[in-house]
Amino acid sequence: MKRRKGGTSYPPGPSSWPFFGNLLQVDFHKLPRSFDQLSKKFGNVFSFQLGWINLVVVNGYDAVKETLVTKSEDTSDRPSMPLMKKMGFRKDCEGIVMARYGRGWKDTRRFTISTLRNFGLGKKSLEERVTEEASCLCAAFETQDGCPFDPHFLINNAVSNVICSIVFGDRFEYDDEKFQRMLHIMEESLKTGTGLLPQVMNLFPVLVHVPFLMRKVFQPQEDIYCFMKEIIKEHQKTFDPATTRDFIDAFLVEMEKTKDNPSDTFSLDNLIITAGDLFGAGTETTSTTLRWGLLYMILYPDIQSQVHKEIDTVIGRSRRPTMADQINLPFTNAVIHEIQRCGDIVPLSLPHMTSCDTEIQGFFVPKGVGIFINLTSVLKDKTLWERPHQFYPEHFLDANRNFVKRDAFMPFAAGRRVCLGEQLARMELFLFFTTLFQRFTFTIPKNQARPRDDPFYAFTQSPHPYQICAELR
């Protein structure tokens, strides 16, 4: 398909099939790989069709930076998600992650950032909360007595407790069965939302009337929202406008202020979705990154030894790590950044959409076209990284072994839609990682094969299940 504006052409792409477009020509369970193959043929900016929906895929640092930063005002919208309406929420109540770019999203984001700061983001109080949770995780690891175990859901629970303490005003014990079930459901929602079927249902919303299809795709997400509703209902029973305990209370205060002029921004529906967004985003990416971190450290014990040595030299084994230590731990900091780069947790970011006609790398992209941002193409660009497909912490060290940040390091994306939890995630990654490696040496269990280091893709890229042994140092 060609469209022109002032002589510029629509991005090239594969020939599409009638009715289905390119829907059946890519593997939605390995979408980053499919896009990588297409970019080799059609270039860093290419077009793609899902049914009759036009999409553009952006690859490479220059094109991604132009799209997310230079043209941020033009490309910060989100495509509509017809299936969300089936779940019974009010029109335009879309939370913060997938909300359309406009007043509602701006108001919700501004309120969320302000409230997170009020509850400790960027302050010593939240740092202490993260450090305390890291100690709780260490205690849970210690109960394993050096025997093989899967750290997956212990890490999930620990990381989730940080955002839960802000949003819900409470943390959950690691043996809380209800909360463990919710963490499993959250992972299931990522899996069911990935693949061909959800794309087909978004293209043909009439399929939401087929009960078993709707349950298959959206039951986990509905269960998460039910969990949010229960917690919010408990807050409403004990709500006191004079005492704001957490994010939910702060949102309820805003609802009270606007009750005579109800808005979609501060409504019960938007609170449910926004709380769910914060719960999911504040749990999944950071916990997955830490799981990659443990995996890489058992696969590269020499690097783990260097981390141990640096932590022992700078912090010792008795004092808890603090964020003030980060500047004095250049190798450990480089390792954490390399875990993020190599793990490549959210390879395609979240879908964007143009809010007006624009140009990307000289190609015309009309208003209303969805945009996939291929972050993998930036984090593993062979022209920007010395060893893009290897775990190599020296990517973030200069000749004098000082830490250096690279421009092409953008795991949190960039621009107006940059992850609003980036500051919290960076703190959590540093404090959890240094606390764990101050206390333990991690190894592959005896008589077990070397764990796989290829990713499992389900919107996020996570390690395949593995076991570790955690031995006290």
Predicted local confidence at residue 5, as pLDDT = 47
Predicted local confidence at residue 1, as pLDDT = 45
Predicted local confidence at residue 467, as pLDDT = 97
Binding-site annotation: residue ranges for heme: 419
Per-residue pLDDT of the chain (473 residues; tens, 9 = 90+): 444 444 579 999 999 888 788 888 888 778 888 999 999 999 999 998 887 888 999 999 999 999 999 999 999 999 876 655 655 555 566 788 888 888 888 989 999 999 999 988 888 889 999 999 999 999 999 999 999 999 999 999 999 999 999 999 999 999 998 899 888 888 887 776 666 566 666 656 666 666 666 666 777 888 888 899 999 999 999 999 889 999 999 999 999 888 777 677 888 989 999 999 999 888 999 999 999 999 999 999 999 999 999 999 999 999 999 999 999 999 999 999 999 999 999 999 888 999 999 999 999 999 999 999 999 999 999 999 999 999 999 999 999 999 999 999 999 999 999 988 899 999 999 999 999 999 999 999 999 999 999 998 888 899 999 999 999 99
Query: 3-class secondary structure for the chain?
Result: CCCEECCEECCCCCCCECCCECCCCCCHHHHHHHHHHHHHHHCCEEEEEECCEEEEEECCHHHHHHHHHHCHHHHCECCCCHHHHHCCCCCCCCCCCCCCCCHHHHHHHHHHHHHHHHCCCCCHHHHHHHHHHHHHHHHHHHCCCCCCECCHHHHHHHHHHHHHHHHCCCCCCCCCHHHHHHHHHHHHHHHHCCCHHHHHHHHCHHHHHCHHHHHHHHHHHHHHHHHHHHHHHHHHHCCECCECCCHHHHHHHHHHHCCCCCCCCCCHHHHHHHHHHHHHHHHHHHHHHHHHHHHHHHHCHHHHHHHHHHHHHHCCCCCCCCHHHHHHCHHHHHHHHHHHHHHCCCCCCCCEECCCCEEECCEEECCCCEEEECCHHHHCCCCCCCCCCCCCHHHHECCCCCECCCCCCCCCCCHHHCCCCHHHHHHHHHHHHHHHHHHEEEECCCCCCCCCCCEEEECEEEECCCCEEEEEC
Predicted local confidence at residue 397, as pLDDT = 97
Predicted local confidence at residue 80, as pLDDT = 76
Binding-site annotation: residue ranges: 419
